[in-house]
Amino acid sequence: MRDYRQFYINGQWVDPVTPNDFAVENPSTEEQIGVISLGSAADVDKAVAAARAAFQTFGMTSREERIELMERLLKAYKDRYDEMVEAISLEMGAPIDFAASDQAACGSGHIATALQALKEFEFESQKGNALIVKEPIGVCGFITPWNWPINQIACKVAPALATGCTMILKPSEIAPLSGYVFSQMMDDAGIPAGVYNMINGDGPGVGSAISSHPDIDMVSFTGSTRAGMAISKAAADTVKRVALELGGKSPNIIFDDTDLKTAVTKGVEACMDNVGQSCNAPTRMLIPADRYEEAVAIAAEAANAVKVDKSDKHGDHIGPLVSRPHFEKVQGMISAAIDEGARVAAGGPGKPEGLETGFFTKPTIFADVNNQMTIAREEVFGPVLVLIPYSSEEEAIEIANDTPYGLAAYVQTGDKERAQRVTRRLRAGMVRVNGAPHMFSSPFGGYKQSGNGREWGEYGFEDFLETKAISQ
């Protein structure tokens, strides 16, 4: 069992001010695999003091110094890559192949992309008689989720380091092993003391202390919209900058000029990826009304073909949901959808046969859904897809935009003009056409209640910079 009860503060592994043990489980086996300590406001105070002191020097470092630092970090990440894969597989129950090829790869991808952006970013420009300077904002607080744990850590830490900020990270207490391994990588890379600090803890104990701390200049949070609202309120009294990447209920519009079987099958597979535990998952599939039942049958066949298995097995399958409370939430939403009149075309309540231990959930397809049902409006964060019919392009766009969220959208069409026309009208921060990948160099973030600000690549730099005009 892994003993990860220490925090990383001011370049040292230290004990918490007040011990508060918290068990870490493997959701695939329901067995305890580690223990952390939940921190407190006193631990946050220590970390903030270290970060504030370090900023006096680190905030003035040169581009070249930070490039060298980022290069060392990238090497340290690659050196411990296998440790990161194992940590993510254990804490999330993620299949080992998926943890290696997708989850862990995000960390090195974001570091490498931020490094390249740092080499090219314009920190100074001349406008009229003024020198416009982009300077680091200061001390940053990061609160990250469990669903893509190292992805969200790296896409905040990397640009903060690149721009000269110092920071305090609170990883999710549900999946903290990857954050601990990442902190070891930061130590390996020789990050100056106080620049990077890591405290484990929950929202009430550490998250709220970070959000309201008067000596933290900005907070970057990824998680639920509900929690994002609470963080914004807590940060308001100190008027600190708040960057939010929140929930989604992303539409996937399939038009009748594309191959229906291919588009629907790929849409199901994309929704089930990471057990549906992705904020940008295409969870609402919009289908031409005259081909609706055909699409339902294809979707059911695709969902039934999705394999569910343990995390230590090699192969192309999905694992469990991350925890018992989350499993119970997803099961409750599946039952509520049935009560509201949705038809189960595949999957449904309960666990897959033969997987009684672990928080496994059946890949589920709902038909006879309209956009006002709870299952079509609220984020499930599980392997659950709804199919909604539409009668025209205009109605498809209307349904797609009829959501409090605006993180991502997907369009499947063989008509380039239609693709251009529709994508411009969708109220979402990211639109993917015909399965095109979203690269690390593209901005990640959304409209409406999906948050504010953007992450990834050079676009992720802006939240960590202040703009100064020096007129002379």
CA-CA distance, 347 to 375, in Å (whole number)?
A: 15
Neighbours of 460 (CB within 10 A): 28
Task: Give me the count of residues in the chain.
Answer: 472
Beta bridge partners of 386: 284, 366
Beta bridge partners of 118: none
CA 314 to chain CA centroid, Å, is: 24
Question: Can 245 be counted among the known catalytic residues?
Answer: yes
CA-CA distance, 405 to 116, in Å (whole number)?
A: 31
CA-CA distance, 138 to 134, in Å (whole number)?
A: 12
Order across the sheet with 21-26: list the strands. Answer: 2-4, 31-37, 21-26
And the tokens for 468? 């100064």
CA-CA distance, 155 to 440, in Å (whole number)?
A: 9
Beta strand 447-448 pairing with 405-406: antiparallel
The catalytic residue among 245, 379, 455, 458 is 245
**Residue type at position 114:** A
- Per residue in 311-348, is it b (16+ CB within 10 Å) or e — as a string? beeeeebbbbbbbeebbeebbebbeebeebebebbbbb
- Per residue in 196-228, is it b (16+ CB within 10 Å) or e — as a string? bbbbbbbbebbbbbbbbbebbbbbbbbbebebb
Q: Which residues are marked as active site? A: 245
